[in-house]
Amino acid sequence: MAQKDAANGNGATTRPPPTPSPIRFSKFFQANMRILVTGGAGFIGSHLVDKLMENEKNEVIVADNFFTGSKDNLKKWIGHPRFELIRHDVTEPLLVEVDQIYHLACPASPIFYKHNPVKTIKTNVIGTLNMLGLAKRVGARILLTSTSEVYGDPLEHPQTEAYWGNVNPIGVRSCYDEGKRVAETLMFDYHRARIFNTYGPRMNIDDGRVVSNFIAQAIRGEALTVQKPGTQTRSFYEADEWRQHRTH
């Protein structure tokens, strides 16, 4: 049915906006976003996958070598038509067509990166180079998850992003600290996020970090202990809050 034109205060007529074509709302105009999450079987990565999978337009691909990650963290998505799990080490090139890359792959627990420091720094440096190469080839946006460890043992509190840090380049943590600093240098013209001390479900109880240590000691009825000198500060970040922020 035709609609009559309405007159405005100046005597001119205004027409109602045209009804959008139904084609605009068809599947052809709702293209899926293909997203790669490296390290997606890990503690933080799996929470990110949960959030990304909430959007029915997203297709999520997880690449993980399971050095520290676990398939159990992704069991709710295995077999889902919009989800794919690839066993892959990011120190090797990966060829896949994607629109976005979340690069989380790296041992983040002191127990793991002290056990294999060479693998840790290779994952940070070579893995980041490979993901940058992939992003360049396919025109994808990429986000690196870095760490508060880039500040080392800071001499100022709290730390601003302008603070350069106080890192021991030959200490037992240097494979992780310096690896992430190099990764940030490589990513400087892209986008990165420094993750502080994240906690929540799926956290490995024996990964050697302060929250899991406290929980394990409390379960065993032991006194809660901290490393000397006992004056350390930490900024804690709940996993669900992290994934909400990183996907917006």
Query: What is the per-residue pLDDT across 114-163, written as a single tens digit (0 to 9) for each?
Result: 889 999 999 999 999 999 999 989 999 999 999 888 888 889 888 888 88
Please name the residues in contact with 163: beta carbons below 8 A apart, sequence gap of 6 or more.
Answer: 151, 154, 156
Q: Residue 11: its pLDDT value, please?
A: 58
Active site residue 237: no
Which of these, 82, 77, 101, 75, lies nearest to 90 by C-alpha position?
101
Query: Which position among 176, 190, 199, 237 bears the catalytic label?
Result: 176
Residue 70 has pLDDT above 60, yes or no: yes
Q: Residues 230-235: contacts with CB within 8 Å, 24+ apart?
A: 233/157, 233/158, 234/196, 234/197, 234/210, 235/148, 235/158, 235/196, 235/197
Domains and CATH numbers, the chain: 30-200+237-246 (3.40.50.720)
Which of these, 15, 17, 47, 53, lies nearest to 35 by C-alpha position?
53
Which of these, 37, 182, 173, lies nearest to 109 by C-alpha position?
173
pLDDT in tens, 166-195: 989 998 889 999 999 999 999 886 665 666
Mean pLDDT of the chain: 83
Provide the whole-model pTM: 0.67
